[in-house]
Chains A and B, each alone.
Chain A
Amino acid sequence: MKIYLLRGCNASTKRLIRKMKLTCFILFVFASGLFATNAESQVAKVSIDLKNGTVAEVIDQIEKQTGYLFVYNATKVDLLRELTISARRKTVTDILSAVFEGSDVTYVVEGSNILLRCRASEPPQENRITGKVTDKDKKPLPGVTIIIVGSTRGVITAPDGTFSIEASPSDKLVFSFVGMESQIVDVGNQKTINIIMSEKIDELSEVTIVAFGKQKKESVISSISTINAEELKVPSSNLTTSFAGRISGIISYQRSGEPGKDDAEFFVRGVTTFGTGKADPLILIDGVEMSSSDLAHLTPDDIGSFSIMKDANATALYGARGANGVILVNTKEGVEGKTRLSFRAETSLSSPTKMVDIADPLTFMQLRNKAVRARNPLAALPYTKERIDITEKGTEPLLYPQVDWYGMMFRDNTINERYNLNISGGGKMARYYVAGAYSIDRGILKNDKANHFENNINVKRYSLRSNINMKFTPTTDAVIRLHGDMDKRVGPQQDGADYFNQARNVSPVDFPAYFPKDPDDPRTYYVNHILFGSDPQMELVNPYANMVKGFRESSSSIMLAQIELSQKFDFITTGLSARTLFNINRQSHYNFSRSTTPFLYAMSKNIVTGKNELTNLNPKLGKSFLEYFPGGSTVSSSMYSETALMYNRLFAEKHDVSGIFVFTARDTQYGNADNLIGSLPFRNLTFASRLTYGYDGRYFAEANFGYWGSERFEKKERWGFFPSAGLGWMVSRENFMKRYEKTITKLKLKGTYGLTGNDQIGDTNDRFFYMSRVNMNDGNRASQFGTDLGYALPGISFTRYADPNITWEISRKLNLGVELGIFNDVDIQFDYFRERRSNILQYRSDIPSTMGLQSIPSSNIGEAKSHGVELSVDYKHFFSEDFWVNGRGTFTYATNAYSRYEEPDYSTRNVKWLSHLGRSLSQPYGWVAERLFIDEEDVRNAPEQTFGTYGPGDIKYKDINSDGIISSLDQVPIGLPTTPEIIYGFGFSIGVHHFDFSCFFQGSGNSSFFIDPRATAPFAGGTRAILKAYADDHWSEENQYPYALWPRLSPEILENNSITSTWWLRDGRFLRLKSAEFGYSLSNRLTKSLKLRNTRIYVSGTNLFLISSFKLWDVEMAGNGLGYPLQRVINVGLKLDF
């Protein structure tokens, strides 16, 4: 094994040693390994026969014949000194003694390294050096070994961390401690040396996680973003909500705040495919494909590394799955050292960022009257003036109530809790990381005290993770991972969003949520159920009754077991190793509900007695006891195995060669699929390989390929080959850059190009396109004949027509990137990317309906392209031990377009603008709204509109093709894409003494959305409430403003006003204070007295404020604004490290 060595350079020994360490890490040689081989070094035998050779040649020979590496300062050691030596099977020490005898060079064997140094020309002056060793939290470290390099002299620190040693100015001291990064310090003229030792740095800072392995950071030329898990810690039990703006290259947005349903959607570099196939990234947790909800449930504390692979080079090995990018998360592993326990508790107060304002009940009545008359002047008014008056006075609060359904049903806020505990540690033979997490997320629904069960949403999540690393032999490592995750939701029968809709859809004036029991009426007084209100016809849903009548329980769980074995094969050839991974997991889900059937009551005034009387409307149907309703359940199991052969070696000090060859197999099966096709397993086989070459740390080349097999395609299309290649140039290492060394610490240019594929085309259940799908048992095509229709046969239908040519979706990606480091403080990464996606499965649109096909055939005809840039800037500076600042900013721009799309020939009807070609994949199409019609005259003079009835006050559209009729041909692309094209974020953290503060802003740009005129239409279904904004601003006889927010009121949804048009188009841009955190770490003395390593308390918040031009609801929810609102969270947390 050779080590990259800067021979002939002026580099200091310190630097060399650092380099060595780095390399050691790459080779997974742990500190323990060094010591383990030490004992054998004495017996390593070497044969050298040199005449008039040089010292350098001897060193070469020893390095070649043994595993030893020489470390020395080339300016000090005379390498060209000639000598003659003849040794046969002598120990290394014997040879070295002979070589350097008489010279001023001494040697020290340290592990597998041999240090050469010059004996001081002057006799050393010994000084007494004193000092103190602490950890980074300033806690004294007792038992630290301090040795003078090249000698056997050393001391150990006292319990208070202090030490005292005699050393000369030219000496170097090595500070070492189990689990800590060793440090070497030049003594110089120092009298006092205080050392802060830090824990062994996570591998991440020096290597980058790449597909199926790790690679030296400097040599990586793929586009891979890594993010510190600390950055993803937000006060939420859903990890996906933290992505937007924090990770460059990810386009992400969150549309709902409902516990358990609040996953943000995220795409790597946007979406470059259309149709029903997979568009979101592949997610790998510890190397195994998982779902986005598994990712959402990961605890940030457990994350060791988090990387996003974006270009073809990074994802080529994931061939079949990599086209949409890859998110790779590795969980933490135990670190050698004392047992450490870390505990985190968080309690947060969650409240909607914005509730939709609804007009008050009186306005509702008046406007509903107005709406009915606006459309039919003859119609009877729903509310008489007398009734409105009584309602307003409130003299009959039960007969004519004013109900604030939102207030009845929803709370202003709720409390959520999260707890994490992890224990890690271990020795040379085994290390462990065991973590448990528990969280409770609650909804903002109210409970009714009369109920015996809770009906607020309550999602409890438990997770247990155990990663055990073992060393079977010095060259054999194993990792055993066990992970279980279970969540349990208890809540009302429907989703939270449904109740928001129901509360808005019900009349606020027709009946109260429930009636009080009437002591004068024994029929109501002695019942033990709640007297829910209803209209006499029971046409309207009483949302309150619906919410409290029962509950639904659901539970999902995942159990996972994984073993990884790695073996070094240096005995075959140096640098060869192999690794294998085997994973099984099982996921399951079930739900069921229990419910009563509410007794509904209506109140009417008895004309004779003048009293209000309650009538039970459903005495026979109502049930006060719980009934059970079974729900669905799903269960699936997966198996994954991965075997890799790896090779990694440095030749002639400059030629760094590595290679990996991987074989994987994957098999998933669903236990209760809906149909035969779904019951067949989902399988993939892969052969993939990567070859890298680095020259002198300056030039890098890499080639990858993935050869993937998928069960989905016809035999000849079953295998896909996805190659990629890339080049990198570390400009900053060139001689001509030397003079800027201090300023530009890193400058790397890189470029990659390659192919990746996607086999998940079409709907999940729509695999095997080469086969027709015939439903031989289609109940919808059944017929019955005979007496009492006694002879029935199911019919036969064609769900799909066979097409043997359907194949992989292929993505061609180009990535050009620059990495720039300035002053060691600023790290900038910039990437430009371009992608062409071809073979996108698309429905054939040139097949007329007269063909009578039952399913439209699809074919690999679509093509799309995308391009964009991403930028991340990191800044980190320590002004002093007690004052540090770091900042981070990211910017992602990704835009896409159809480049080939089968569509009708729009030019035949002169409507070329309807073509999708060149337009964004999420470009909305719609009509151009001019204004609202002014009067009948205006309506008569305008072109005919073909979307149902319309009149004055309704939306007037533009006749784009000037044919005198507004029809589907008058649509045009309107607005910006509905998926944001720009996502950015920026923030900073600052630490002063024990205090730290951080905040993060996140923004989204270049997107449009539509207010859903159907979902917001007042009075739809008869009694839907009217939004305050609409009540305040609509067209009416009195206020004939042609640009009012809402057109003329109507008691029902008007098609004319509901079609997609510029009238409802809104700007989706926003910038929000996504999170802020203020923390305080307890002073040393206090923590020490509590026997803690570290204690930190903090206050944090998310979604604190929002800047947007849209005010009706949280703009991030876009068209979905009437659902369960996004949440603003204020959080208090405590973290204890023992």
Chain B
Amino acid sequence: MRMLNKFSIIPIILVLLCGCSDFLDIIPDDVATVETAFENRQNAESFLFTCYSYLPDPSDPWTYPAYSIDEFYMHSPEKLSLGPAQEMYKIIDGNQSVSQTYLDFWGGTGGKAVKNLFQGIRDCNIFLENIDNPKDMQSETERKRWIAEVKFLKAYLHFFMMQVYGPVPVIKENIPISAGIDEVRVFREPVDSVAAYVVQLLDEAIPDLPEEIADVKNEFRRVTKPIALAVKAKVLTTVASPLYNGGVSDYSGYTDSKGTQLISATYDPQKWIRAADAIQEAINVCENNGNRLMDTTDINLTNEFSTRMKYKITLRDMISKDGSQGLADNPEVIWAINQGTNSGRKGNYDTDYYYGCIEYLCYPGGSHWAGYFGATMNTVKLFYTDKGIPIKEDPDWLGIDYSEVVTIPASSKDYLPSGEATARFNLNREPRFYAHLGFNRSYVTMKHYETTPYINRSLGNEILGKKNFTGYNAIKLTSYTASGLFGEYFNPANYQFPLIRMADLYLLYAEALNEVKAAPDGEVYQFVDKVRNRAGLKGVVETWQQSVNPNRPSTKEGMREIIRTERQIELMYEGQRFFDLRRWYIAEAYLNGPVTGWQVFGTTPENYYKETTLFTRSYKLRDYFWPIREYDLLVNPNLVQSYGW
């Protein structure tokens, strides 16, 4: 019996041991919650940076919508995963549809990198709701500045959505998660209302934003007053442009379920006046702040370089010269975005442009596929001849076979190695052609080869391994200081990708003035010529005297076309042309038909320089605005589909 007691005590002890009431209460205190994010300045700053992180990244060739046109071609039967498998190329191939929406900024359903931008807007609103909480802000001015920055970001995200989808819901305040079904079913707002709200937010933000960044070391590239004004200028120009301003008669019946007209089908000249005013203000503030076009005097070279070479470098540096020391470094750029940190991108894609746009430099067995972004012949053709006018207006170019193989004459030695064979197409072009493009038998314009020129030889099998499929690389986007030797690894030089630069504003102003005025005058010419002169070209009026249409600059329509071409060339490959072609409502003219390149596997110059069709694009009216997923319409019956889908 004694034994029994001894053992029977064990279960009793166990019950007592385990019966502690807090056995299940295991959550430690101090687990992060929403309140934690606004507990102090440090965390709130993280949230501020979070709001910044939603800015769509123009340096990401896979997710920034602007590359879904004909600028780049990337198509290799051996490496499909880099090309057609990417959502970007699904759009290029015309596969955007209501069933499968690619680069879905609306629902965030697609690839890893594209976020639902409404999430960004929600975070901005959370920030605005809670920013009063931190008690340890450095000053009220700082708090106001942060509020202004977030209002700017909220405005920009709305504007971006409007550019992609047209009418979009305006999320002025966050709808609570517990809200009822009727409350969460929002409507698409007319584009004019969206723009008005965006402008209102920008106007609220502008007074509290700094003129320039004082603490360059820590805050450079955060939003300033010039940036906000430049964006406001763009917003107003956009809604004044034909697509949004009565240019599309089909939109007259485009209403939502309440009967609200979503995109105006009637022209309103006042919009251009407001746009011109806004651009002028932006230019004034930027110029007062020290922004200007970069020019050859900014290039400080140890060697004696020809002027042409200086143009080449200048025209590269204006994009990719690292301006991180402040404006003095690169006065051209008004707003640039931190490459590689936005949109949640990490890893391999960071340096796509460095690799993708460089001319055959990378080691062929490296992990990256060098030079795979082929700049299409369609875009290369847009570049002017050496006279500064389009090929089709240059009398010297009329009727010639530009595929004809010729020997490079000594007169072109600054741009091309004399004695080598090339196509006539590559001779006698404007400086931007040579500065922005790399191609077979061009010099590899890199700092590394400053003293000993290096010739890009990429005919047929001359290069073992990777090559692009058009014959051209947009070396414009590769930093001049990046180093890479043939057969070695490549060391990219990071830079921040420009979203708005002075040339952009000047051309925008010329465009708006041309619309406002009855006929183009010196003021209009002046702003186009600023950009042309910097590229080593003469003024519009003077140049066109040599063209087959010498009177073109004198008419409003003629000047409109000149400005549009100039803008396309100047901002080519920079993620602007996509939005421009749309708002001008001329994308169908540019984006239908064959996309071409040279016959890059040709082993002799004669075989190589044959223009071949890579694929045929089609662009319809509905493509001006992307569709939203059919499922989103099921969930919210108040939404109407984008026009034409």
- Taking Cβ atoms with an 8 Å cutoff, the residues of A that contact B are 372, 376, 378, 380, 382, 472-473, 475-476, 535-540, 565, 567, 569, 571, 578-580, 582, 600, 615, 617-618, 621, 641, 643, 645, 663, 665, 676, 680-681, 683, 685, 709-711, 715, 718, 768, 771-776, 778-798, 801-802, 845-854, 857, 904-906, 908-909, 946-949, 965, 967-969, 1020-1023, 1051-1053, 1055
Contacts and interface: CB of A to CB of B under 8 A. Distances in A.
A538 B122 contact: no
B344 A539 contact: no
A780 B346 contact: yes
Given A538-B364, A783-B338, A680 B27 contact: yes
Contacts of B18: 641, 643, 663, 665, 685
Nearest to A772: B33
A579 B108 CA distance: 56
Contact of B52 (A618, A783, A791): A783
B120 interface: yes
B222 interface: yes
Given A846-B181, A850-B169, A852-B118, A787 B464 contact: no
Contact of A571 (B4, B24, B32, B184): B4
Contacts of B630: 967-969
B364 A567 contact: no
Nearest to A857: B177
B8 interface: yes
A947 B94 CA distance: 10
B289 interface: no
Contacts of B77: 372, 382, 1022, 1051
Contacts of B26: 680-681, 683, 711
Interface string B105-127: 01110000000101111110000
A968 B98 contact: yes
B11 A578 contact: yes
Contacts of B400: none
Contacts of A683: 23-24, 26
A388 B120 CA distance: 56
A378 B639 CA distance: 43
10 nearest A-B residue pairs (beta carbon): A852-B122, A946-B97, A852-B118, A795-B50, A904-B634, A783-B49, A780-B344, A948-B95, A791-B218, A665-B18
Given A580-B10, A641-B14, A680-B26, A618 B365 contact: yes
Contact of A796 (B25, B46, B107, B118): B46
Nearest to A615: B464
A1020 B118 CA distance: 35
Given A472-B3, A791-B218, A853-B177, A569 B8 contact: yes
A851 B346 contact: no
B281 interface: no
Contacts of B46: 776, 793-796
B466 interface: yes
B183 to A, nearest CB: 10
A377 to B, nearest CB: 11
Contacts of B344: 780-781
A475 B32 CA distance: 54
The size bracket of the interface on B is: 35 or more
B84 interface: yes
Contacts of A773: 32
A791 B338 CA distance: 11
The listed residue with most B CB atoms (<10 A of its CB), out of A476, A787, A802, A904, is: A787
A118 B521 CA distance: 138
Contacts of B81: 1021
Contacts of A641: 14, 18
Which of A681, A776, A781 has the most chain B CB atoms closer than 10 A to its own CB? A781
B324 to A, nearest CB: 5
B34 A798 contact: yes
B14 A582 contact: yes
A904 B635 contact: yes
Interface of B: 1, 3-4, 7-8, 10-11, 14-15, 18-19, 23-28, 31-34, 36-37, 43, 45-47, 49-50, 52-53, 76-81, 84-85, 90, 93-95, 97-100, 106-108, 116, 118-123, 169, 171, 174-175, 177, 181, 184-186, 215-222, 322, 324-325, 338, 341-342, 344, 346, 364-365, 464-466, 494, 496, 601, 612-613, 615, 629-637, 639
Contacts of B635: 845-849, 904
Contacts of A846: 181, 184, 635
Q: Which of A380, A683, A776, A1053 has the most CB of B within 10 A?
A: A776
B217 A790 contact: yes
Contacts of B639: 848
Given A845-B635, A949-B94, A774 B177 contact: no
Given A567-B8, A709-B24, A774-B32, A782 B341 contact: yes
Contact of A785 (B14, B123, B338): B338
Contacts of A779: 346
Contacts, number: 279
B97 A908 contact: no
B49 A849 contact: no
Contacts of B120: 852
Contacts of B185: 848
Nearest to A711: B24
Nearest to A665: B18
B636 A538 contact: no
A536 B33 CA distance: 54
B291 to A, nearest CB: 19
Nearest to A844: B177
A786 B80 contact: no
B98 A774 contact: no
Given A473-B4, A665-B18, A537 B466 contact: yes
Nearest to B365: A618
Contacts of A600: 365
Nearest to B157: A852
A801 B177 contact: yes
B60 to A, nearest CB: 14
B365 A538 contact: yes
B464 A785 contact: no
B217 A685 contact: no
5 contacts: A615-B464, A781-B53, A845-B635, A850-B632, A947-B95
B61 to A, nearest CB: 19
B93 A949 contact: yes
B3 A378 contact: no
Nearest to B98: A967
A636 B459 CA distance: 60
Nearest to B119: A852
B78 A540 contact: yes
Q: Which residue of B45, B52, B94, B107 has the most chain A CB atoms within 10 A of its CB atom? A: B52
Contacts of A537: 78, 364, 464-466
B118 A851 contact: yes
B125 to A, nearest CB: 8
Nearest to B112: A780
A795 B107 CA distance: 21
Nearest to B630: A968
A702 B219 CA distance: 73
Contacts of B221: 785-786
A795 B220 CA distance: 18
Given A781-B344, A795-B49, A663 B632 contact: no
A688 to B, nearest CB: 14
Nearest to A914: B634
A319 to B, nearest CB: 14
A676 B28 CA distance: 10
A382 B76 CA distance: 12
Contacts of A771: 27, 31, 33
Contact of A580 (B11, B106, B118, B342): B11
Given A643-B18, A781-B50, A904-B634, 5 more contacts: A476-B7, A643-B15, A796-B37, A948-B95, A967-B98
Given A565-B10, A1055-B100, A473 B218 contact: no
A883 to B, nearest CB: 50
Contacts of B7: 472-473, 476, 565, 567
